[in-house]
Amino acid sequence: DAGDADVRATVLVCGPAGGLHPDPVAACRLVARVDGHLDALDVGTDPCTSQYAPVTARAVGFWQDRPVTYTRTFANDCLLRRATATLFTF
């Protein structure tokens, strides 16, 4: 499947911030701000084009010993960044 070529993954560790994410401090702040409830993230107000180039963001792990599972498909990269800031920028 050609779509699989675009799959990227990283590891984020918080408390202390680390892992393989390029900006773990900022990413951990985002997760902390919504207490691990990633569906509550909505950080930006920048305008985005209506271009349809779907991208799916997934996160699986633990926050404060609670399981976190997040999957959301955005119409394009801009909408993903607007909703999640740097959390999925890797």
What domains are defined for the chain?
A: 2-84 (3.30.350.10)
pLDDT value of residue 79: 93
* pLDDT interval class at 4 (50, 70, 90): low
pLDDT value of residue 1: 44
State pTM to two decimals: 0.83
**DSSP letters of 4-45?**
GGG-----EETTTTEES-SSHHHHHHHHHHTTT-GGG-----
57 - beta bridge partners? Answer: 72
Let me know how long the chain is. Answer: 90
Question: Residue 22, preceding bond cis, omega within 30 degrees?
Answer: no
